[in-house]
Homo-oligomer: A and B are copies of this chain.
Amino acid sequence: MFFEGSEKKIEVIVTPGCGSLRELGKAFWTEMVASANAEILSSISNEKCDAYLLSESSLFVWHDRFLMLTCGTTNLANAALRFIEQIGSDNIAFASYQRKNEYLSHLQSSAFADDLERIRARLPGNAYRIGHLDSHHHYIYTSSKPFQAAADDVTSELLMYHIRGEAADYLRAENQSAAEIRRLLTLDAMLPGFEFDDFLFEPFGYSINGICGERYMTIHITPQENSSYVSFETNLPLEGEHAQLFARLLAILNPGSWDVIGFNSGCNTQGFPAHLCLGSCALQTEQGYNIDFSHYQQLCHEVLIPEPM
Contacts and interface: CB of A to CB of B under 8 A. Distances in A.
Q: Which of A112, A139, A293, A301 has the most CB of B within 10 A?
A: A301
A276 B279 contact: no
Interface in A206-243: 226-227
Interface stretch (A53-61, A129-137, A163-171): A129-137
A271 to B, nearest CB: 19
A304 B276 contact: no
A283 B278 CA distance: 28
A72 to B, nearest CB: 15
Contacts of A148: none
The oligomer's copy count stands at 2
Nearest to A305: B281
A150 interface: no
Nearest to A105: B106
Q: Which of A126, A304, A309 has the most CB of B within 10 A?
A: A304
Given A106-B105, A308-B128, A302 B283 contact: no
B276 A307 contact: no
Contacts of A306: 128-130, 281, 283
A103 B134 CA distance: 5
A104 B308 CA distance: 23
A216 to B, nearest CB: 26
A257 B162 CA distance: 20
A280 interface: yes
Nearest to A111: B106
Contacts of A104: 133
A256 to B, nearest CB: 8
Pairs A-B, 8 closest by C-beta atoms: A281-B304, A128-B306, A103-B133, A279-B302, A127-B309, A129-B307, A279-B304, A106-B106
Interface string A125-158: 0111111111110010000000000000000000
Contacts of A116: 309
A76 to B, nearest CB: 17
Given A280-B303, A281-B303, A226 B128 contact: no
